[in-house]
Amino acid sequence: MPFCLDVFFCRKEFYYSKILNLLFFLFSLFIVTSFFSINPYWSLLLSAIYFLYLLLTLTSANVFFIYKSLFDKYLSFLTFFGLISALFGLYQYSFYMIQGPSDGFLIPYFLPHIKSLRVTGFYGQPNLFSVFLIVIILSYFYKYSSVDNLNLPGIFCFFKYFPFFVVSYVFFLTGSRAGTLSLLLIIAFMVVLVLQKRLFCSELFESKEFWTLVLVLICAFSVYRLQPFIFSDSSFSPRALSAVGTGIDVRFLLWMSSFLIFFDNFLFGTGLGTFGLVQDSYALLARDLLGFVPYEAMSNTDWAHNELFQLFAETGFLGGGLCIVLLIYYFYSFLKLLVGNRGGLDKKVFFIHLFIFPFIFQSMFSWVLRSPQLLVLFFVFLGIFLANNDLIKIKFGETQKKLVFFASTVGLFLTCLLFSYELSIGKFREEVLSAVQVSDTLQEMNNLVDNPYSSYRVMSKVLPHYAKLTLAAEDVAFAKQIIPLYIRLVSFEGSRWQWYDLARLYLLDGRESEARGAIEEAIDLMPSDNLTWSFLHYLNMLEASRNTGRPLESFWPQGDVLDFSKMELSND
């Protein structure tokens, strides 16, 4: 905040990049496509959040352009915070090895739970954490090659690289295949430049530090690979670690779904943030077109696991096309730096370009640019990138000050409003999980559902918990109350597990015809699921039992009756 006040209010001028015109034009396209969205309120809200990130980029560009030395201080902060994050990642890993999966937060409201051996850190997701750790690893390369005064005596000199070793080791514990490939490409690229004496060549200690860090990185990877020999349990092996996550067949399915959504909504897309609402209805066609994806790989998700494909699906040709233009500019700027400097590269400018690469690369395999925490880091580095390109000096008159003050006020108000919404959502989830009678939380549930910001998120996360408890207790009265909410949820998204839950609630309420319609919707989305077919068969037997007067048990082989109230359909 002091930097913003200094840049926008204490100074008579500020600096602006022409590339920001494209970024603000992208914002205007997001607004336009929101009016064609299947969920316009949510799309408009995400567009407003994107505008806040643009203000962050504009501020960062000015701050890092005016205060040239701030870049090194910023990286020093990142390396320190990265080490702390890695240590908490080690704590997660140790907790899982000793006690297995956690039921809740490892540290309340601070360190998320861990469900598998893959370390997730503060981000709660291994692929997101791996991007952050790559940025930290690159920060160590830059910092260690910039200072030659941290020399410890004797054998203690190895402790100089201990923080880097910890960060590198935890990075491999994330089990991120895209992250490992991204880091491998970056290190290989730097190795080539160092061998060509174009990078880390101004001082002798620079190349020495680089090769030492590469060696430490290899040691961290070796320790990671030696885990099967350290632990007798095969579940701790790197193969088991990397096997957890989204498979390549699922990714192909999601990418094909993105193309189908894009072709059906060519110009404006379905609206920002709506991929998860429409993906399930395209999954079966995508699977049939691919031909090699098994039915079991079909899943419902909010992410296409490729940011560019998802933007084409959500914002159409206009938004996706402009994103390609921005990507071309970035790679053109990087190529211009490499080609235009045949001798030694400016290390600072090189790393400023390099810091953006992990975000772009891994966003093609995951949902990196949908994480609020990583987006803050990305847009700050984007501002630093713009600060090292040609900036236009603009006089800051009273009119401009008023406009910036208005935009900042709106941004601050929106930030506080969204923060209050997030607190309400988090508090409600805790209340639902700890409530003795979930019916006591229904009024708060209805209030959050009426809010466009929290409506879909709360319904998709909480209603399955409601349904599970209701069916287990056979609470018909509560089932009647949550059925309208489930109908609203399937009208939003309509994944097969939601239709299956709705069918079971209908059956509990004695509405067999509605239950039949709901389960047929689930079968249409996944024709190979045995559980949904068994449920439909059960409905047929109920009808046959009434028509013939025979007991229901007589229709089952061996007289074995299934209890569908306890049979959950996975939403993976």
- Written in H, E and C, the secondary structure of 327-340 is HHHHHHHHHHHHHH
Q: Are 9 and 401 in contact (CB under 8 A)?
A: yes
Q: 393 - beta bridge partners?
A: 15
Task: Report which listed range, 345-359, 386-400, 444-458, 533-547, is most confident.
Answer: 345-359
The overall longest dimension of the chain from CA atoms, in Å, is: 92
Give the C-alpha separation, 319 to 324, whole Å: 9
DSSP one-letter string for 13-56: EEEE-THHHHHHHHHHHHHHHHTT-SSHHHHHHHHHHHHHHHHH
Task: List, in order, residues 6 or more apart from 226 with CB less than 8 Å away.
Answer: none
Residue 3: per-residue pLDDT: 47
Q: Are 516 and 536 in contact (CB under 8 A)?
A: yes
Q: How confident is the model at residue 100 (pLDDT cuts 50, 70, 90)?
A: confident
Q: How confident is the model at residue 238 (pLDDT cuts 50, 70, 90)?
A: low
Domains of the chain are 1-67+247-346+375-396 (no CATH), 85-246 (no CATH), 419-566 (1.25.40)
**Best CA proximity match to 529, nearest among 500, 498, 557, 494:** 500
User: In the structure encoding, which two tokens stand for residue 135, read together?
Assistant: 């940025």
Task: Report which listed range, 6-10, 256-260, 362-366, 491-495, is most confident.
Answer: 256-260
Q: How confident is the model at residue 466 (pLDDT cuts 50, 70, 90)?
A: confident
What CA–CA distances, in Å, run from 176 to 278, 309, 417? 27, 20, 34
Q: 16 - beta bridge partners?
A: 392
DSSP one-letter string for 387-411: HTS--EEEE--HHHHHHHHHHHHHH
Residue 153: per-residue pLDDT: 55
Task: List, in order, residues 6 or more apart from 13 with CB less than 8 Å away.
Answer: 393, 394, 395, 396
Helices 19-34 and 40-66, axial angle in degrees (round to 10): 170
Give the C-alpha separation, 544 to 512, whole Å: 13
User: In the structure encoding, which two tokens stand for residue 36, read together?
Assistant: 């064609």
- Give 164-218 pLDDT, tens digit per residue: 999 999 999 998 888 999 999 999 999 999 998 888 877 777 888 899 999 999 9
**Best CA proximity match to 122, nearest among 84, 163, 80:** 84
Which segment of 302-316, 319-333, 523-537 scores lowest on mean pLDDT?
Answer: 523-537
CA 509 and chain centroid, separation = 38
User: In the structure encoding, which two tokens stand for residue 137, read together?
Assistant: 């690893």
User: In the structure encoding, which two tokens stand for residue 356, read together?
Assistant: 């953006």
Give the C-alpha separation, 297 to 407, whole Å: 45
Q: Are 323 and 363 in contact (CB under 8 A)?
A: no
Give the C-alpha separation, 250 to 313, whole Å: 17
